[in-house]
Amino acid sequence: MLPARRAQGGWRVRLTPIAMLLPAVAVLVAITVFPLLYELRLTVVSWELTTGFPPQFVGLQNFERVFFQDPRFWNAVANTGLLVGVGVSLQTVFGTTLALELHRLGWARTTAMSLMLIPVMIAPVIAGFQFRMIYNDQFGWTSSRTGRFAAPRGWPIHGSHCGRSWPRTSGSGRRS
- State pLDDT tens for residues 91-120: 999 999 999 999 998 888 989 999 999 999
Sign, Cα dihedral of 9, 10, 14, 16 = negative
Q: Which residue has the higher pLDDT, 169 or 27?
A: 27
pLDDT band of residue 14 (cuts 50, 70, 90) is confident
Contacts of 164 (CB under 8 A, 6+ apart): 124, 127, 128, 131, 170
pLDDT digits (tens, 9 = 90+) for 41-78: 999 999 988 888 999 999 999 999 999 999 999 999 99
